[in-house]
Structure 1
Amino acid sequence: MATKRRPLRPNLGGSGSSGPQSSNSNMNFRPGGPDITRSEARGTRPTAAPTSIREILVMGVIHLCKKTIFFNTDLKVALYLGSLFIISLIGDFLPFPKTYFARSDNLFNLYFVKIGWGWTLLFVVPFTILSSYTITCGDMKRMLRHHLPRVLIATFFWFFWTKLFNIVETSYGRCTTKGYASKSSCLKAGHLWQGFDISGHAFILIHSSLVLIEEARPIIKWETIKEHLRNELHNRSVSETSGSNPLRALNEEQIRSLKFLYNRWTPIIRTLFIGMAALQLLWDIMLVGTMLYYHRMIEKVISGIIAILTWYFTYRFWYPTNGLLPEAPGNGVFYYQRESFVFKRPTHLPSCSTQAGVQVSPGGARANANGQWQSGKLGGQSQQQQQQQQIPTFMGMPLFTNVKAAASAASLLQAEQKKREQQASLES
């Protein structure tokens, strides 16, 4: 036999009240109702717009591309060096079976590898400009000074090293037929030029791959900018001054500019990122072909080491220091790629309650039911344990960001729970 459904909230109007007020007070409202004002109920955030099927498919492709291009970079560098040494060494003594990629006139070699840096710039330049222009909130000078120079520096190193490789081969080589002192005259006569030919193909493929990986990093957590904008606009509409939103320090003009640029350029940025991921995968495939069929092992290993050292010097040593221009990819007037705060529910408390209406801050301070903070530690708990003290959560996310609202909800739930326990004891 079904029993009468009990309200989630106690009767605020008292047991003796009647009429509409009494019926309204017994309705199943979420904890925090008319006694909590809108400014206090900070946990209520504006919801996101419905996601279309097209958006879901695009995000699925973006996720797959992220998994492909953001493979552990340090491990990938180790694989580059190890493969250049082992596979090339085997190929020097045991020639691999000839395939389409063994032909120097294959489609990929003619139209992609030989102009590989041009293809890389075709995707990297617009992606870097649009993404950095967005995260700088339309600050053209900051974008030109702090982000675009990375592409120019990468282009300089590509030009410098490839020219140096050519000088080494020309200066320290000889023609297979006597009477030809220069490489150009030897090749024009149909002969072969023997020299120390440091693999320009291996260098350009590794250099391009690593540049693509690093310059694509602004796409990491790019979608969270939309959520930050929505929450920050909500906070400002209710005059909320606290919180950890990375956009809180932006002025109104920067917020408007960021919202406009993000909505306008995000589809193009996504498309360019998909192209960058596909191109980076192609460079890795062509690098395997270079390992199997072209150059000697020592020539490929040296070129690979130079490409990796160039990447390490620029993207791992130079740019992250912020001592000299430019900055690392993803840096702007706000930082959106930090780790999210995770709230875990304590196992010794009910799922939607706190200890006697006391709320604990991440720093170890306490707040009573009136929302007043009290410093000090709870029961000698460690700092890490204090950080895990929770406000009411649902699916791992906090229901409230305001202490008073959370304490009020917890008090109401505890009162309701005690009332149910008393009723259960009387019925038994």
Structure 2
Amino acid sequence: MTTRRVATKVEIPVPETSNSTSKRKTQMGPAPLAGSPFLPTLLEAVLLAIYPATLLFGSLFSIIHPSTRVATYLAETQSYDPSHAPSYFAKKSNVFNVYFVKVGWFWTTLAVAMLIFSHPSLGPPLNPRVTKRRLQAGIRYLCITAVWIAVTQWFFGPPIIDRSFKWTGGQCQMIYSDHPADMMEKAEMSDVREVFTHAACKTIGGQWKGGHDISGHVFLLILGSAMIWLELLPAVLRMEGLREARRIMTSDGLIRSASIEADVQLEPASEPHGYGVWGSLLVLGSSWWMLLMTAAYFHTWFEKFTGLIVAFGTIYAVYFLPRAVPAFRRIVGMPGV
């Protein structure tokens, strides 16, 4: 009797090759990363640290330098006596204060507009075509501008700076120059004519007295220049610490690199960056210098500190918070993405 042999099929597992492994990972999506989307990268933190360091250096200079130690500081004007000012830049009439800081948002707006419409990473240079990157950069600018208006210009009436001054006990006082001691007295006004803004008080010949006055110069110079830096650097520099190292939270709740949302069709070109970058750098250099002069010659420590905090809070809300909030990020986007 013949025995019939039956062949048995045996499957031997074959190790996955690197190509098949990478293909599967690509299908599953990038692996989640460590790090918090709420925090800046190390390079961003170093960049932002320049601002408090500048304020600290300028404030220490005002205490240590002989020219400021012998000068008379006038609390009511938040500056040194102009007749014996320790420096040209200690006078509110200096050309940089009058033609740059006083109209600082104009120069900030001009720098941002030049960057948006001239840099190839945001769209065709000198071409008015609206791209996604240009639209989102414009939205970020409008968000920052809205806060600038609310803090320094108008907030359903007096701006936040003037409101905070009144809330902390400040008031408009008249100066009677015919009095031997130039005694300050509260302006006698009806409730209808009560002065609520610094500008109105100055117009009627009075001065702010008492209360806490947030440094508008510090707020303006930090807010505008930080916005330009955070728009400019990710677009111009291909540095990992300014681009790929940023962490974002995706809609599935995982933390990933910001590079996964990059638009490969609009990567920074290798051609020259143009006048938009140079114009921005000019505004940035002037802003830093005037911030240093403000730190050295104007306002108290606490007034400068609150100006810094309000500016940093605004920058965080527009440039860092969206990394952790996908719905918000879809509206305002991220520079360089």
Equivalence for 2:244: none
Q: Does the aligned pair in 1 maintain the 2:116–2:134 contact within 8 Å?
A: no
Q: Which has the larger radius of gyration?
A: 1
The yes-or-no answer on 1:329 pairing with 2:326 is no
The yes-or-no answer on 1:313 pairing with 2:301 is no
The yes-or-no answer on 1:219 pairing with 2:207 is no
CA distance in 2, matches of 1:185, 1:210: 30
Query: 1:101: how far off?
Result: 0.4
Aligned match of 1:291 in 295, 304, 321? 295
Equivalence for 2:180: none
Structure 1 residues 272, 179: closer, same or farther in 2, change over 3 A? Answer: same
TM-score by length of 2: 0.57
Q: Does the aligned pair in 2 maintain the 1:129–1:148 contact within 8 Å?
A: no
TM-score by length of 1: 0.46
Equivalence for 2:170: 173
Equivalence for 1:192: 207
CA distance in 2, matches of 1:272, 1:197: 35
Task: Give CA deviations for 1:340-377 in whole Å, capped at 9, x if unaligned.
Answer: xxxxxxxxxxxxxxxxxxxxxxxxxxxxxxxxxxxxxx
Query: 1:125: how far off?
Result: 1.5
CA distance in 1, matches of 2:52, 2:269: 39
Equivalence for 2:279: 275
The yes-or-no answer on 1:118 pairing with 2:126 is no
CA distance in 2, matches of 1:121, 1:156: 13
Q: Structure 1 unaligned runs (5+)? A: 1-70, 223-245, 332-428
CA distance in 1, matches of 2:51, 2:200: 35
CA distance in 2, matches of 1:184, 1:125: 29
**SS of equivalent residue, structure 1 residue 127:** helix
Structure 1 residues 273, 83: closer, same or farther in 2, change over 3 A? Answer: closer
Equivalence for 1:11: none
Structure 1 residues 130, 320: closer, same or farther in 2, change over 3 A? Answer: farther
Q: Structure 2 counterpart of 1:168, which letter? A: S
Task: Give CA deviations for 1:71-94 in whole Å, capped at 9, x if unaligned.
Answer: 954224334224435643663797
Structure 1 residues 122, 319: closer, same or farther in 2, change over 3 A? Answer: farther
Equivalence for 2:130: 140
Structure 1 residues 147, 192: closer, same or farther in 2, change over 3 A? Answer: closer
CA distance in 2, matches of 1:209, 1:184: 25
Structure 1 residues 151, 319: closer, same or farther in 2, change over 3 A? Answer: farther
Aligned match of 2:141 in 151, 155, 161? 151
Q: Structure 2 counterpart of 1:192, which letter? A: Q
**SS of equivalent residue, structure 1 residue 140:** coil
CA distance in 1, matches of 2:113, 2:325: 23
After superposition, the CA RMSD in angstroms is 3.6
**SS of equivalent residue, structure 1 residue 192:** strand
Query: 1:313: how far off?
Result: 2.5
**SS of equivalent residue, structure 1 residue 273:** helix
Structure 1 residues 329, 220: closer, same or farther in 2, change over 3 A? Answer: same
CA distance in 2, matches of 1:262, 1:92: 48
CA distance in 2, matches of 1:90, 1:138: 47
CA distance in 1, matches of 2:141, 2:133: 12
Q: Structure 1 counterpart of 2:170, which letter? A: G
**SS of equivalent residue, structure 1 residue 177:** strand
Q: Structure 1 counterpart of 2:141, which letter? A: V
**SS of equivalent residue, structure 2 residue 205:** coil
Query: 1:287: how far off?
Result: 0.5
**SS of equivalent residue, structure 2 residue 282:** helix
Map 1:407-422; keep pairs closer than 5 Å: none
Q: Does the aligned pair in 1 maintain the 2:218–2:291 contact within 8 Å?
A: yes
Query: 1:188: how far off?
Result: 3.6
Structure 1 residues 109, 72: closer, same or farther in 2, change over 3 A? Answer: farther
**SS of equivalent residue, structure 1 residue 329:** coil
Identity %, equivalent residues: 27
